[in-house]
Amino acid sequence: MNIKELTDLYLFNTYKRNPITIHKAKGSWVWDDKGKKYLDFFSGLAVSGIGHAMPPVVAAIQFQSKKLLHASNLFYTEPAALLAQQLCKRSFAKKVFLCNSGAEANEAAIKLARKYGSQNGRYEIIVFDNSFHGRTLGALAATAQPKFHEGFGPLPPGFPVAKFNQIDSVERLITPRTAAILIEPIQGEGGIRPCTPQFLTALRKLADQHGLLLMFDGVQCSLGRTGDLFSYETYGIVPDVLTLAKGLGGGMPIAAMLGSEKVANVLGPGDHGTTFGGNPVCSMAAIAVLKMLSPKVLKNVKKQSQAILKDLEPLARYPFVRELRAVGLMIGMELTIPGAPFVETCRKRGLLINCTQGNVLRFLPPLALSDSERRFALNILQQVFQREPVQ
């Protein structure tokens, strides 16, 4: 049996997979099992932003794995402590909770908000249409896209849904039960939809007026994607809670919930936990990633973002393109027709892209993208757009 047959036979059928088997990856490039090479223009879905198998990350993993693979969180370990220190030093945060995935980081944020509000009977968390916060039940309830809920009800209550970028719709939902607002500064799965700066500014003000926590889901849009280390810096709006995952471990599974001074003492022993949270090897990988996210890399994100947008302009004029949306190297091209044939044709030509919401082509290029890699991608996109692939 080949890999595809084995996968189809033994793994739950939860993913619509591309029909290639990824064999290895290095930097911006990925190889399939037939030796064909692809430019990874969506960075393993925003995980390998700093590049695949980057030497500092690999070295950190090798070093730590020889020393200590695991210790229970009932003990102290150096990598977790150093990672939390780095995250606090480089952000607004005073405390960090380490876990394993974006959904888990958001679950931690949801629990923190509920605990914070519990003394005053507050438990509701206002979320937004088209949001995506993960697949576990709490994160799923916060994900205001009915298609993900189907067949999984009843979901935990307490997640009223406001309209994205419409402040009066948020105001209308605030009641004495409201504890927090949870939002992606730039919606990812929802179709690369950025908050307007005015909206985030107004949300911060509203949260302060009503004593609510403002919580940002930065799982997809942080760690360099916008040209700053964290997307809240790009907006100049500081949240009370920020969740991170995906790019944090440079390919290793690690996530974090960051909290400000205001929430630093909300959670106590026994309130929350996870066996693998702050795993020594993953934490060392994350420390290496944070080090790699240098001002030089962040500057490159801004430079390449401008260049790509200029390159994509002519493509955005094709009649089947509705809108081009971007912040930094988080780019969405909404089509009037299905995006899947574009993804497939690009892949056949050696370019990995993604499509979300059925018709939004999503580009999440490597943060250290070079001029020649950008030209390689654009060249393929031009060829593909010229022929307008259809299903």
Q: Which spans of this chain sit near ligand PLP (rule: CB under 6 A)?
A: 101-103, 106, 132-134, 184, 188-189, 217, 219-220, 245
Question: Which residue type is seen at 288?
Answer: A
The nearer residue to ligand PLP, 132 or 385, going by C-beta atoms, is 132
Helices (H), 132-230: 137-142, 146-149, 167-173, 197-210
Count of other CB atoms within 10 angstroms of residue 59 = 13
**Alpha-carbon torsion (266, 271, 274, 280), positive or negative:** positive
Question: Which residue type is seen at 239?
Answer: P
**Alpha-carbon torsion (355, 359, 363, 364), positive or negative:** negative
Residue 307: CB minimum distance to ligand PLP, A: 25
The nearer residue to ligand PLP, 52 or 193, going by C-beta atoms, is 193
Strand bridging mode 124-128 / 161-162: parallel
Q: Is the Cβ–Cβ distance between 304 and 296 less than 8 Å? A: no
The nearer residue to ligand PLP, 130 or 201, going by C-beta atoms, is 130
Residue 72: CB minimum distance to ligand PLP, A: 23
Residue 106: CB minimum distance to ligand PLP, A: 6
The nearer residue to ligand PLP, 41 or 376, going by C-beta atoms, is 41
Residue 34: CB minimum distance to ligand PLP, A: 28
As a whole number of angstroms, the distance between CA 221 and CA 186 comes to 6
The nearer residue to ligand PLP, 30 or 103, going by C-beta atoms, is 103
Residue 382: CB minimum distance to ligand PLP, A: 28
As a whole number of angstroms, the distance between CA 214 and CA 165 comes to 15
Residue 45: CB minimum distance to ligand PLP, A: 7
Residue nearest to ligand PLP (CB): 102
The nearer residue to ligand PLP, 199 or 385, going by C-beta atoms, is 199
Q: Is the Cβ–Cβ distance between 111 and 143 less than 8 Å? A: no
The nearer residue to ligand PLP, 102 or 117, going by C-beta atoms, is 102
The nearer residue to ligand PLP, 12 or 76, going by C-beta atoms, is 12
- Return the residue matching tokens 């968390």: 125
Residue 167: CB minimum distance to ligand PLP, A: 21
- Helix/strand/coil for 151: coil
Residue 387: CB minimum distance to ligand PLP, A: 30
**Alpha-carbon torsion (28, 50, 330, 20), positive or negative:** positive
Residue 246's φ and ψ, nearest 5 degrees, are 25, -90
The nearer residue to ligand PLP, 254 or 380, going by C-beta atoms, is 254
Q: How far apart are the first and last CA of the chain?
A: 29
Q: Which residues contact 331 (CB under 8 A, 6 or more apart)?
A: 192, 305, 308, 309, 312, 324, 325, 362, 363, 364, 365
Residue 27: CB minimum distance to ligand PLP, A: 23
